Amino acid sequence: MPTASHPAMCALHALILLALYAPCFAQNVRIGVLGLFHSREIVIRPVPASAVVVRVADRTLVLEQSSGNDEIDVHLDGNVIAARTRDGAIRAQSLTVAGRDNGPSDFFLSIPGKITRRYHGTLEVTPSSGVLLAIIRMDLETAVASIVAAESDPGTPIEALKAQAVAARSYLIAAKGRHSGFDFCDTTHCQFLRTPPDPHTLVARAAASTRGLVLAYNTQPFAAMYTRSCGGRTRTPAEVDLPAGPYPYYAVECKYCREHPSAWQSRVTPQEVVQVHASSESARLEIDRLRGWSTVRSNNYTVKRVGDRLLLEGVGEGHGIGLCQSGAAAMAKEGATFTQILAHYYPNTSVTKCVSANL
């Protein structure tokens, strides 16, 4: 029998290594943030004990608490932005924020009176369709950890968090470029994004321990979809009238959601329910945009008349495709590893180490 030093065995070993790795092109991602607020004003501040460099028109400003100049107001003024400083307003087509070395930094981004969120990366602010567009360029792994923090419930076991991290990373790598001018948004249209987690949290540990791992089908990473609660069985894209992609999602049984369904009710008018079809995810989202995001929580429901209204009674939350977050958490509590969770919800796939395309 050949030994490990035999040429034939070395060649076989090389082929196995090639099969375990897939090229990745998204080492950084550009994410549009806080777009749901359609704001015409943004406030930028550095985190305590740090500084950020703001470049607007031909001016370079350093924001730091020790200098007393620790924030900048950015307004939309016609078709340009106006950055308010102690010396007046500076008008320009764009504004950028970075660290002293022109690399990523930590900063707060606020919509006055509505929300403040901390980010790590570089920022570009430009006018777009009558509002301010804020785009953050961040490292892929920072984005993964921030998404897992946003998408997971408190108390989720680490193996389920690891599965979520692999799914989120796969989506970022395979679905890059979903928007004109940037790659992703921070809403359900793409993936939620929040403040990066503290490095000592379970979420950060889950992202770090799966660093570079993605889901692959036929050796290629694919944009892994996931849902909050499947109602007892996951769905295929065809079942909810979504186009097929590179990965042919399968309907799989989910023990936890079958035994503990996430039930919901909603009342709508007959005119509104005409817009909703049990097999149409786009129609479900359309009525949710009009009536609120909890109006039709899933595509798994029945309809009956109650007076002059129609009562929708359903189970599950979301489109029901791919990883079920509720089911994954239950599997992890029962001892399943993240690879076992991923194999259950994404049959016929592999967990692959993703490497930079220029390596």
Could you report the per-residue pLDDT of 100-146, keeping only the tens digit for each? 999 999 999 999 999 999 999 999 999 999 999 999 999 999 999 99
For residue 277, the model assigns a pLDDT of: 55
Concatenated DSSP letters for 333-357? HTT--HHHHHHHHSTT-EEEEEEET
Distances (CA, A) of 152 to 140, 163, 164, 192: 18, 11, 8, 10
**Separation of alpha carbons 119 and 215, rounded Å:** 27
C-alpha span between 21 and 169 (Å, rounded): 15
pLDDT of res. 65: 82
Distance of CA 245 to the CA centre of its chain: 18
The pLDDT of residue 2: 36
- 193 burial type by CB count under 10 A (0-12 exposed, 13-18 middle, 19+ buried): buried
According to the model, what pLDDT value does residue 105 have?
96
So what's the pLDDT on residue 87? 75
Q: What is the pLDDT of residue 13?
A: 35
pLDDT of residue 335: 98
What parts of the chain have a pLDDT lower than 50? 1-19, 357-359
Here the tokens at position 301 are 């429901």
Helix 202-209 to helix 158-174 angle (10° resolution) is 60
The pTM (predicted TM-score) of the whole model is 0.88
Question: How far is Cα 157 from Cα 153, in angstroms, rounded to an integer?
Answer: 10
Tell me how far apart the terminal alpha carbons of the chain are, to the nearest angstrom.
Answer: 34
82 vs 91: CA distance, rounded Å: 4
